[in-house]
């Protein structure tokens, strides 16, 4: 009996080992096949990935749409490379271009981007870099995560961080609101202006006015101007980007690298032809380790580090 029992146990063990070995071989072959498939999978285009990963109800190539108001006047012309309509998602446009029209039927503004969504509210939501061009030749280059266009007013709004690219500066703000028909924009929240010449301006709620062919940036909030040699505090800023003339408004304090302090009001910053000249016709109080000077006006060439005080100059030296 003991011999027969041992014989049966050996046979059972042998069968179990064979089954386990076959299972491991099949598992290994399946894994190798999966790896081979992954290596041979071709790279899909953006449209192909969208086709495979998202179930859409409708797809249209070379999409175009005209929108009219209650008076049957053309208000918008929308076109896109691809149009996707989904069951439970907003309609998607690939490479959209939207043209708005004025009351006379002439082109007003054109907006273009890589992607946009049609929302149930009737708004268009652009994503990424957005180019805005007006019929008078003015352009706005905006980079943000989301930009909404209200199709009733044509106003543009973003509550996300915005990068605005001007001709001689890059501006970063926390949001924006633009009245396209007036060609006026408000960059919302903490705002930093990076000038191409290397200076930086810190302010808040900056307005960009390009109506009537002007390039006017201004803010009534406290402002800090930073250059390589000076730090200037003011109560507001007014920049004419066409003439390269900036006004630092209200009480102004200039801190020089040397530690000297200049107090004044309404300082004009002249950056024409690459210069950096500060001037004012307001009273001046200059303080350093060796001098205390008061005057009625000042001309300060920051690049050459030369200051000229004028009018009733009174100084005390140590």
Domain-located, residue 20: yes
Q: Would you mind telling me the total number of residues written for the chain in this entry?
A: 318
Q: How many domains does the chain have?
A: 1
What is the phi/psi pair of residue 84, to 5°?
-125, 130
Is there a domain that residue 131 lies in?
no
Q: Domain for residue 32, yes or no?
A: yes
In a domain, 174, yes or no: no
SS3 track for 120-149: CCCCEEEEEEEEEEECCCCEEEEEEEEEEE
CA proximity to 175, closest of 131, 197, 130, 206: 206
Our measurement of the distance from residue 194's CA atom to the centroid of its chain's CA atoms, rounded to an integer in Å, reads 13
Q: Tell me, what's the pLDDT at 181?
A: 85
Whether 143 maps to a domain, the answer reads no
Question: Within a domain: residue 66?
Answer: no
Query: Is residue 187 in a domain?
Result: no
pLDDT tens for the chain, 318 residues long, are 455 555 555 565 666 656 666 666 665 555 544 544 444 334 334 454 455 456 888 999 999 999 888 888 898 899 999 999 988 888 999 999 999 988 888 888 899 999 999 888 878 999 888 888 887 777 888 999 889 998 888 899 999 999 999 878 999 999 999 998 888 999 999 999 999 989 999 999 999 999 888 899 999 999 999 998 899 999 999 999 999 999 999 999 999 998 999 999 999 999 998 899 999 999 999 999 999 999 999 999 998 889 999 998 998 887
pLDDT of 140 reads 85
Question: How confident is the model at residue 21, as a pLDDT?
Answer: 65
Taking the alpha carbons of 21, 26, 27, 29 in that order, is the dihedral positive or negative? Answer: positive
pLDDT value, residue 38: 44
The count of C-alpha atoms lying within 13 angstroms of the C-alpha of 74, restricted to the half-sphere facing its C-beta, is 14
Domain span at residue 2 reads: 1-41
Q: Is 37 within a domain?
A: yes
| The pair of three-digit structure tokens given for residue 235, joined into one six-digit string | 């109560």
Looking at residue 108, its pLDDT comes to 86
State residue 89's pLDDT score.
Answer: 86
What's the confidence (pLDDT) of residue 37? Answer: 43
């Amino acid at each position: 009996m003991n011999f027969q029992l041992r014989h049966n146990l050996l046979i059972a063990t042998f069968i179990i080992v064979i089954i386990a070995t076959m299972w491991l071989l099949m598992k290994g072959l399946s894994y190798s096949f999966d790896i081979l498939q992954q290596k041979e999978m071709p790279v899909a285009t953006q449209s192909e990935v969208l086709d495979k990963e998202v179930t859409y109800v409708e797809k249209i190539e070379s999409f175009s749409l005209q929108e009219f108001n209650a008076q049957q006047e053309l208000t918008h012309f929308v076109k896109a490379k691809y149009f996707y309509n989904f069951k439970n998602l907003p309609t998607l446009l690939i490479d959209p271009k939207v043209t708005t029209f004025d009351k006379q039927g002439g082109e007003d503004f054109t907006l273009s981007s890589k992607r946009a969504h049609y929302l149930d509210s009737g708004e268009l939501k652009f994503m990424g870099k957005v180019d805005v061009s007006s019929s008078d030749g003015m352009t706005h280059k905006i980079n943000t995560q989301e930009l909404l266009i209200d199709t009733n007013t044509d106003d543009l709004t973003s509550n996300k961080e915005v990068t605005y690219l001007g001709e001689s500066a890059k501006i970063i703000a926390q949001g924006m609101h633009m009245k396209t028909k007036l060609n006026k924009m408000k960059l919302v929240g903490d705002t930093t202006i990076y000038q191409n010449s290397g200076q930086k301006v810190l302010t808040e709620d900056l307005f960009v006015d390009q109506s009537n062919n002007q390039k006017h940036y201004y803010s009534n909030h406290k402002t800090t101007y930073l250059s390589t040699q000076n730090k200037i505090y003011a109560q507001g800023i007014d920049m004419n980007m066409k003439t390269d003339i900036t006004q630092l408004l209200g009480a102004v304090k200039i801190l020089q690298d040397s530690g000297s302090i200049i107090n004044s009001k309404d300082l004009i910053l002249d950056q024409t032809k690459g210069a950096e000249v500060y001037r004012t016709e307001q009273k001046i109080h200059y303080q350093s380790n060796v001098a205390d000077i008061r005057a009625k006006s000042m001309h300060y060439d920051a690049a050459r580090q030369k200051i000229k005080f004028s009018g009733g100059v009174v100084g005390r030296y140590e």
